[in-house]
Amino acid sequence: GAGVSQSPSNKVTEKGKDVELRCDPISGHTALYWYRQSLGQGLEFLIYFQGNSAPDKSGLPSDRFSAERTGGSVSTLTIQRTQQEDSAVYLCASKQTGDLFYEQYFGPGTRLTVT
Amino acid sequence: AQSVAQPEDQVNVAEGNPLTVKCTYSVSGNPYLFWYVQYPNRGLQFLLKYITGDNLVKGSYGFEAEFNKSQTSFHLKKPSALVSDSALYFCAVRDASGNNRLAFGKGNQVVVIP
């Protein structure tokens, strides 16, 4: 079946512009995560959605970052007034439920470059 | 706070030799542990997990990992490495913040030399 998809695969933007990154999770998966992967760094948790519960936003690095998940499916990560330090690969993952013992399925990521 | 340590930045191994990627963890409560692999320009792929039961866990592509509670380790192993195993490997442990998320290590680059 279809896996997690993300778009665009690459995004180059000028400093100060806003960007939107999209994630389409696996159908039926109720849990959705956003991570940031910087060069030489591990995965940095950003935000977590589970069903209709309030999202866990505790990993968002600043108020320039926001995310929403419409209809319990597609999610959009928005970065306002981008900075060069926002350059990274943004990964989305989904899984069946919020239970920890289920593994996450990752999308291919969006590589964001802020010039 | 939950954390994972992957002490080696890069692991070099000759093709056909055993491969070990080290991971130690710190967690309170049940240590749900995972290994993921990332090939170039791809997302992470699940390899295996330890939740409960046998300490030796077998996963995809011939990989296995051994949970050692006394040493708080979950090292990934493969008896005979292939060139195609060259990738970035991440260990992860449950984050007991109560928010159902994982804490990932910084990753280990594995290079299998032909």
Cβ contacts of residue A63 below 8 Å, gap of 6+? none
**Spatial distance between the Cα atoms of B5 and B31, rounded to a whole number of angstroms:** 14
Q: Which two tokens stand for residue A62?
A: 């600043």
What per-residue confidence (pLDDT) applies to B96? 55
- More confident site: B9 or A19: A19
Per-residue pLDDT tens digits for A55-108: 999 999 999 999 999 887 999 999 999 999 999 999 999 988 767 678 899 999
Residues of B in contact with A32 (CB under 8 A): none
Whether residue A17 has pLDDT greater than 60: yes
**To the nearest whole angstrom, how far is the Cα of B71 from the nearest Cα of chain A?**
22
Whether residue B8 has pLDDT greater than 90: no
Asked if A56's CB is within 8 angstroms of B101's CB, the reply is: yes
A43-49: list long-range contacts, CB under 8 Å, 24+ apart. Answer: A43/A91, A43/B44, A43/B90, A43/B104, A45/B95, A45/B101, A45/B102, A45/B103, A46/A77, A46/A90, A47/A77, A48/B99, A48/B100, A48/B101, A49/A75
What per-residue confidence (pLDDT) applies to B64? 97
What per-residue confidence (pLDDT) applies to B114? 95
**Spatial distance between the Cα atoms of B24 and B20, rounded to a whole number of angstroms:** 13
Residues of B in contact with A101 (CB under 8 A): 32, 49, 51
What per-residue confidence (pLDDT) applies to A7? 97
Q: B48, B51, B6, B11: which is closest to B24 by C-alpha?
A: B6
Task: Tell whether A108 is within 8 A of chain B (Cβ).
Answer: yes
What per-residue confidence (pLDDT) applies to A46? 95
**To the nearest whole angstrom, how far is the Cα of A64 from the nearest Cα of chain B?**
22
Asked if B99's CB is within 8 angstroms of A58's CB, the reply is: yes
